[in-house]
Homo-oligomer: A and B are copies of this chain.
Amino acid sequence: MHFARPLEKLIDELQKLPTIGPKTAQRLALYILKTPEEEVRKLAEAIIDAKSRVFPCSRCGYLTDIDPCPICRDEKRDKSILCVAEEAGDIIAIERTGFKGQYFVLNKDFNLMGHDDLGSLNIKPLEERLKTGEVKEVILALNPDIDGEILARFLAGVVEKYGVKVTRLAHGIPVGGYIEFADEITLRRAIEGRREI
C-alpha cells in the first residue's frame, strides 16, 4: 500500500498511542486530513500545551498547571485523610466518587519484574506530610497485582512509623455483579470482608 510519507508518519505516530491499532490510526489520520486546518492546529497545540504546562503538584503529585494544585489548596477538603495512589488516572477515578480527602500520587509505574526497586520511589514528600501530624488515616488505593501488594506492604511500614492508621480499599463483588460469575479470589475477599447489616 502506498501512503504519502507525511500521512504514513502520522499513522505511525498515532499507532504509538495506547488502544490505537493500525486501522484506527488510519481512520484518525484520514479524519485529520479532512478536518479544517484551524481545528487541526488546535489539536496539535493542545498536545504541546498540555505536555509543556502540566506537571505533577510538588505537594501531592497530581497533575496540575499551578503549584500546589487546586486539590491541595482547597481548604474545604479533609487534610486528615490521605489517599495514596500510583497514577493520576487513579485519582481521577477516585475523585468521581466524591471523596473529599487529599492525595499523594506515587507517579511511578512500579515494575518489580523489571529493574525497579522500592528505593527508587520518592516518598520523602509523603513522610513530610505524615510528620506534621495532620494526617490521621492513610488509604492505600493500590491495584490488586503483585506490584500493588508489595507497594502496599512497603508503604504500610512507612506510614505506621508515624503512628498513622493505614487502610486499603475493600475488595468484593462489584456493585451489580452476580455471585455466580465472581472469581474465587474476589468471592473469598468478599466473604472475609463481610459486613453486618
Contact = CB atoms under 8 A, between A and B. Distances in A.
Interface in A37-66: 37, 39-54, 63-66
A26 B64 contact: no
Between A12, A47, A66, A70, the greatest number of chain B beta carbons within 10 A of the residue's beta carbon is seen for A47
A47 B37 contact: no
A196 to B, nearest CB: 33
Interface stretch (A14-22, A158-166, A171-179): A14-22
A26 B87 CA distance: 13
Chain A interface size, under 10 / 10 to 19 / 20 to 34 / 35 or more: 35 or more
Interface in A84-109: 87-89, 92, 95-96
Interface in A137-160: none
Interface in A1-36: 1-7, 9-10, 12-14, 16-20, 24, 26-33, 35
B63 A33 contact: yes
A158 to B, nearest CB: 25
Given A18-B28, A63-B4, A47 B44 contact: yes
Nearest to A70: B2
Contacts of A47: 10, 13, 32, 40, 43-44, 47
27 contacts: A1-B96, A2-B71, A4-B54, A4-B65, A4-B69, A6-B49, A6-B50, A6-B53, A7-B50, A7-B65, A10-B46, A10-B49, A12-B46, A13-B46, A14-B43, A16-B43, A17-B31, A18-B27, A30-B87, A30-B89, A32-B47, A33-B54, A33-B88, A37-B51, A37-B52, A40-B47, A44-B48
